[in-house]
Amino acid sequence: MSTQVMGMRTVVDADLPLHVPTDADNARRIVRWGLRRHLASWAEAPGLKVDEAIHAYIAPEPLADRGGRYKGVLHVSPDLYAALRRGWETRWPPLGVHGEPYLVPNRHGEHLLDRIHRDGIREWDFYGRTVEIPFTPKELRP
């Protein structure tokens, strides 16, 4: 299944989410996030937060018509895809104005799109590297 999110081709990937954390992983993450100031002084990132799993990633796809420049393909988990579909609501034009109903993101949808934009698209800049975007199970529920 393929669609567009923020102008980027989006594919539902049944192999996601990646890196579903075990209790031991979550314990290490708690310690690393507790020591994040010390890790920052060593120029080391704390990593994923507790219960975060990779529910989306942007993979490069070379485009011959753009001289070999890359365009991203957003791969999302079925859970994130369902959350994105629930993140839109129908709005109707004001009374007395003729027009068709239109879709706008609700608060939950805006949060999901902001995370994809902030953690994925903005940092990636289409240099041809893969970017993983983690979400917690709580973030996927409205």
The domain segmentation of the chain, as residue ranges, is 2-136
Could you give the angle at the alpha carbon of 14 between the alpha carbons of 11 and 20, nearest 5°? 115
Confidence label for 132 from pLDDT (cuts 50, 70 and 90):
confident
User: What is the rounded distance in angstroms from the CA atom of residue 36 to the CA atom of residue 106?
Assistant: 33
Residues 33-92 have pLDDT tens digits of 888 888 788 887 777 788 888 888 888 776 655 555 556 788 889 999 899 888 888 888
| Structural tokens at position 109 | 């949808």
User: What is the rounded distance in angstroms from the CA atom of residue 61 to the CA atom of residue 25?
Assistant: 32
Pairing of strands 2-5, 8-12: antiparallel
CA-based nearest residue to 71, from 55, 84, 60, 81: 60
